[in-house]
């Protein structure tokens, strides 16, 4: 009887051992199936991008970086992962990833694209008026990097267009603040804002109104000679602008005020010299 029990015990141990071996083998095989090659992961991620499944693509790229950190596809995966985050509107995450990428890869074609994509991350946040102008400035900085360091790249043309647009936005913001100060009769602060536009954003669309508002502010402070120069610049550079037409009435209004106050007729003669 004891011998029979001993035999059964040995048999049971063999069965258990075989079961454990088979389980481990199956488990190992399953692990191998769960981790495809880096190439397969990368191709799957690209396919997900084509399908506009950017969240899924980002997950796959991160999977590649986790399992194959030294793969030849790792660097491309970092950039493409940032692109997927950008498309998925995870802007903060994309910005962090791009900044880290530039820090680790200060040169190269992909670094150029990282700068451009960083510019786009900030650019899309400037679409709403009234947003923090620092976002506009950050976008402008990155597009200027493309314009100066990579002037012949495929991103250069678009970067130049974005720079023009963003400069206009910054100039519009300065003009709005200047007009606010002017309305509140804080003419000194208004003049300073208008001069910032003349110095930093001379080729923007707000220049005609800026020169007009500057003239208006200068006249209010009694700086008539400076106002005349501003109006002369306005009429010379933008003769067909509505602000040039308004500037004539601006001077006439000021003339009438001064005539009522006994201002000499030589100012009237000056007006005739400009506009007749």
Where do the domains of the chain lie, and which CATH numbers do they carry?
38-112 (1.25.40.10)
Average pLDDT over residues 86-109: 92
Please, which residues have CB within 8 angstroms of residue 166's CB and are 6 or more apart in sequence? 123, 126, 136, 139, 140, 143
State how far the Cα of 67 lies from the Cα of 46, in Å rounded to an integer.
Answer: 17
Buried/exposed code over 187-205 (b: 16+ C-beta within 10 A; e: otherwise): beebbebbebbbeebeebe
Neighbours of 51 (CB within 10 A): 10
Q: Quick one: pLDDT band at residue 3, thresholds 50, 70, 90?
A: very low
- Sign, CA torsion 138/144/150/154: positive
Q: What is the mean predicted confidence (pLDDT) over 20-41?
A: 62
* Lowest mean per-residue pLDDT among 45-49, 91-95, 121-125, 221-225: 221-225
* Rounded-to-integer distance, Cα 210 and Cα 191, Å: 10
Alpha-carbon radius of gyration of the chain: 34
Nearest to 230 by CA among 257, 258, 197, 268: 197
The predicted structure's pLDDT at residue 258: 53
At residue 1, does pLDDT exceed 70? Answer: no
Altogether, the residues listed in the chain come to a count of 276
Q: What's the confidence (pLDDT) of residue 249? A: 80
Rounded distance, CA 249 to CA 74, Å?
A: 66
Judge whether residue 257 has pLDDT over 90: no
Contact 224, 254 (CB under 8 A): yes
The structure's pTM equals: 0.72
Contact 71, 64 (CB under 8 A): yes
Q: What is the pLDDT of residue 132?
A: 64
**What band does 254 get if pLDDT is binned at 50, 70 and 90?**
low
Question: Residue 107 pLDDT more than 50?
Answer: yes
Locate 14 and state its tokens: 């063999």
Contacts (Cβ under 8 Å, ≥6 apart) of 228: 251, 270, 274
């Amino acid at each position: 009887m004891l011998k029979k029990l001993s035999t059964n015990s040995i048999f049971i141990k063999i069965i258990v051992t075989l079961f454990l071996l088979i389980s481990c083998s199956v488990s190992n095989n399953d692990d191998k199936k769960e981790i495809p090659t880096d190439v397969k992961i990368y191709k799957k991620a690209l396919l997900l991008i084509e399908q506009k499944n950017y969240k899924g693509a980002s997950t796959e790229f991160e999977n590649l970086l986790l399992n194959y950190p030294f793969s030849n596809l790792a660097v491309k995966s970092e950039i493409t992962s940032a692109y997927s985050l950008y498309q998925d509107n995870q802007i903060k995450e994309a910005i962090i990833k791009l900044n880290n990428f530039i820090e680790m890869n200060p040169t190269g074609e992909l670094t150029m694209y990282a700068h451009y994509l960083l510019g786009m991350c900030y650019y899309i946040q400037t679409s709403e008026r009234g947003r923090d102008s620092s976002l506009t400035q950050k976008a402008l900085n990155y597009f200027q990097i493309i314009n100066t360091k990579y002037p012949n790249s495929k991103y250069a043309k678009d970067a130049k267009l974005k720079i023009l647009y963003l400069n206009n936005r910054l100039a519009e913001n300065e003009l709005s603040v200047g007009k606010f100060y002017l309305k509140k009769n804080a003419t000194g602060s208004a003049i300073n804002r208008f001069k910032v536009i003349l110095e930093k954003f001379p080729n923007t669309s707000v220049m005609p109104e800026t020169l007009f508002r500057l003239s208006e502010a200068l006249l209010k402070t009694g700086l008539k000679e400076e106002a005349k120069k501003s109006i002369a610049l306005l009429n010379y550079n933008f003769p067909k602008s509505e602000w040039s037409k308004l500037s004539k009435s601006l001077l006439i209004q000021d003339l009438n005020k001064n005539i009522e106050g006994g201002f000499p007729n030589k100012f009237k003669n000056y007006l005739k010299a400009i506009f007749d």
